[in-house]
């Protein structure tokens, strides 16, 4: 069984939304958490203060993980601060939604760079530390859109599907080092992004979901914690947290 207490966990894109909930959940379990952010400095620092006030340990580290050099620096700064890395949660992501007729090459490249390429950059940088530690856990946050597709999200769907393929290959390659690699695919989740959707559209979305509601960020965070604490014999898998919107 994995042990969160005292471990060092890096969560990318942790200033807001699902990433924030994951960072809070892991800190609650006793992990020392690196709250990575690209531009959300104030929310990230506020989260660190909240974790510290609750008796936990966290630090905010800026870094745009869509850039290979900055992703490597994030990992190295973590190792310098805490001496090790036990958990890596690749959560950073963006969406630029347009139909393919209107989507520019720049729209495509930016989403793939942030959502998919960043996973490779961080895993590549963290791998030597996992090998030195004798193991670790990597959880990549994908999406049901990467499994089902979605109108106007060709770039996002391709990137999130790529995360699933990357997860399976990484799991095969890293098993020899006792590193478990899994993906979590959230459905529609109650975040700032969803809150910005017009109410009538929200209702249509809920009507598509068998459980009749959108998920909460904490529900995704609990799935991540499960894979860390109880997933020692789970690797290369995709855990769906989607209310049944995709089966």
Could you confirm whether 156 is annotated as catalytic? yes
Q: Residue 111: enclosing H or E segment and its boundaries?
A: helix 105-112
Separation in Å, CA 101 to CA 98, 106, 145, 153, 161:
8, 13, 19, 12, 21
Take residue 186 and report the two structure tokens written for it.
Answer: 């959230």
Determine the Cα–Cα distance for residues 188 and 143; give it in Å rounded to an integer: 9
Instruction: From the candidates 37, 121, 156, 226, give the one annotated as an active-site residue.
Output: 156
Residue 29 exposure: Cα atoms within 13 Å on the Cβ side: 23
Place of tokens 């969560």: 11
Take residue 122 and report the two structure tokens written for it.
Answer: 């961080």
What sign has the CA pseudo-torsion 137, 143, 149, 151? negative
Answer yes or no: are the C-beta atoms of 245 and 186 closer than 8 Å.
no
Q: State the Rg of the chain over Cα.
A: 17
Answer yes or no: are the C-beta atoms of 34 and 63 closer than 8 Å.
no
Take residue 68 and report the two structure tokens written for it.
Answer: 């290979």
Tell me how many degrees the CA angle 210-247-241 measures, rounded to the nearest 5: 75
* Residues paired with 9 in a beta bridge: 33, 87
Answer yes or no: are the C-beta atoms of 165 and 118 closer than 8 Å.
no
Determine the Cα–Cα distance for residues 15 and 46; give it in Å rounded to an integer: 9
Residues with active-site annotation: 156
């Amino acid at each position: 069984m994995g042990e969160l207490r005292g471990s060092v966990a890096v969560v990318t894109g942790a200033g807001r939304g699902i990433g924030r909930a994951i960072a809070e959940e892991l800190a609650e379990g006793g992990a020392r958490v690196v709250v990575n952010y690209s531009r959300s400095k104030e929310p990230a620092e506020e989260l660190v203060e909240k974790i510290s006030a609750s008796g936990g340990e966290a630090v905010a580290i800026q870094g745009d993980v869509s850039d290979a050099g900055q992703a490597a620096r994030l990992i190295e700064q973590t190792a310098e601060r805490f001496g090790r890395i036990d958990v890596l949660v690749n959560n950073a992501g963006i969406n630029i939604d347009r139909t393919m007729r209107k989507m520019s090459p720049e729209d495509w490249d930016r989403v793939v760079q942030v959502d998919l390429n960043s996973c490779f950059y961080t895993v590549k940088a963290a791998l030597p530390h996992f090998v030195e530690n004798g193991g670790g856990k990597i959880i990549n946050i994908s999406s049901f859109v990467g499994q089902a597709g979605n109108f106007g999200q060709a770039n996002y769907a391709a990137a999130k599907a790529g995360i699933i393929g990357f997860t399976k290959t990484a799991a095969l390659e890293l098993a020899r080092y006792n590193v478990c690699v899994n993906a979590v695919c959230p459905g529609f989740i109650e975040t700032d992004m969803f809150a910005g959707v017009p109410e009538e559209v929200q209702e249509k979305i809920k009507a598509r979901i068998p459980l009749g509601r959108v998920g909460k960020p904490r529900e995704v965070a609990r799935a991540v914690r499960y894979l860390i604490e109880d997933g020692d014999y789970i690797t290369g898998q995709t855990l769906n947290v989607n209310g049944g919107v995709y089966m």
